[in-house]
Amino acid sequence: MQSMLIRRYCEERGFVFNHHVAENITPDSYLVLERLVTEASQYHALAMCSIGMLPRESTVRESMLNRCVTDGLSVHFIFEQIVVSGSKDIGHVNELLSLIELLDDPKAQIQSLLDLVN
């Protein structure tokens, strides 16, 4: 499903979809993502389904995103509709992830907010 979503996202934006890679299932292991960032110079963009797929450790996450930006690689997060192409964008991603971590049960919190609005 992720591959299909990313492929469609790329096609809609005129990007060439090279290949889909999957991360290892080991918790807090980002070997595949690290390799992609290291090889970033051969790409123009990196697309992921969600910012939730990024490393939880902020220093590791910021280091990866900064390397992408420095190498001219934009990072696209499809679910959140966020594109990281500069340090300001990295700050927005960190803020959003900080807010998500504050929620004990994000689905219940979001539903409560929606109930208040409706």
In order of 42, 65, 116, the CA distances from 46 in angstroms are 11, 10, 37
pTM, full prediction? 0.74
Closest CA to 52 of 29, 24, 73, 80: 80
Per-residue tens of pLDDT for the chain, all 118 residues? 788 888 899 899 988 777 666 655 555 667 777 777 777 667 788 888 889 888 888 898 999 999 889 988 899 999 999 999 998 999 999 988 888 777 766 666 666 767 776 6
* Domains assigned to the chain: 2-117 (3.40.50.1390)
The answer to whether the beta carbons of residues 51 and 82 sit under 8 Å apart is yes
pLDDT for 84 equals: 96
pLDDT at 22: 60
